[in-house]
Structure 1
Amino acid sequence: MQFLGDSLKSLRDFPGDARQDAGRQLDKVQRGKQADDFKPMPSIGKGVEEIRIWDDAGTFRVIYTARLTDAVYVLHAFQKKTQATSKRDIDIAKVRFAQLMRGEK
């Protein structure tokens, strides 16, 4: 598991239950299974997916790619404030994915 940018810090800032759920879902992905609630994010890049976490404290997202052979890469983790994912959050994930594809980890 590789965390890019501030994604690990952001994930650690999730409330307890949401953080535990995110950890369980990432563990599933790492073992080659699919997260319980996810959706593809082709607007960010090929093979990028978003784990969706619903918690009493709010709605949280973890954007990752598991398509590379060496690790699962977490591109971005954040609390979702509106119905649509903000352009800022998508742009952060896009930049990190592009850097990853260029070999910058």
Structure 2
Amino acid sequence: MGGKHIDAKPLRGLSPGVMEVVSDHHGDTFRAVYTVRLANAVYVLHAFQKKSKRGIATPQAEVELIKMRLRRAIEIDKQEER
């Protein structure tokens, strides 16, 4: 519908248009990361349970996976334009 999820916020350290939604449920934290910067679709890049008890930062391994999937989403989106 073109709107932004009420709890979505930009994921720091990544390009503009990469958003994160954080949800707490029964003491656990879940995150979903998606991008709206591409023309043809909204791409969900990763969804995971935050397990680290050291701070709120997204673990580096998760960030690297998100970056890899963002690159792949960009490739797919360019193919859709053809």
TM-score tier by shorter-chain length is 0.7 to 0.9
Q: Partner of 2:45 in structure 1? A: 75
Q: Partner of 1:91 in structure 2? A: 64
Cα distance in 2 between the residues matched to 1:99 and 1:68: 12
TM-score under structure 1 normalisation?
0.62
Identity %: 39
Aligned length: 75
Q: Which runs of 5+ in 1 are unaligned?
A: 1-30
Cα distance in 1 between the residues matched to 2:38 and 2:72: 14
Q: Which protein is richer in strand relative to its size?
A: 2
TM superposition shift of 1:42: 4.3
TM-score under structure 2 normalisation?
0.77
Structure of higher RCO (CA pairs closer than 8 Å, 6+ residues apart): 1
Larger radius of gyration: 2
Q: Which protein is richer in helix relative to its size?
A: 1
Q: Which runs of 5+ in 2 are unaligned?
A: none
CA RMSD of aligned residues (A): 1.9
Cα distance in 2 between the residues matched to 1:99 and 1:89: 15
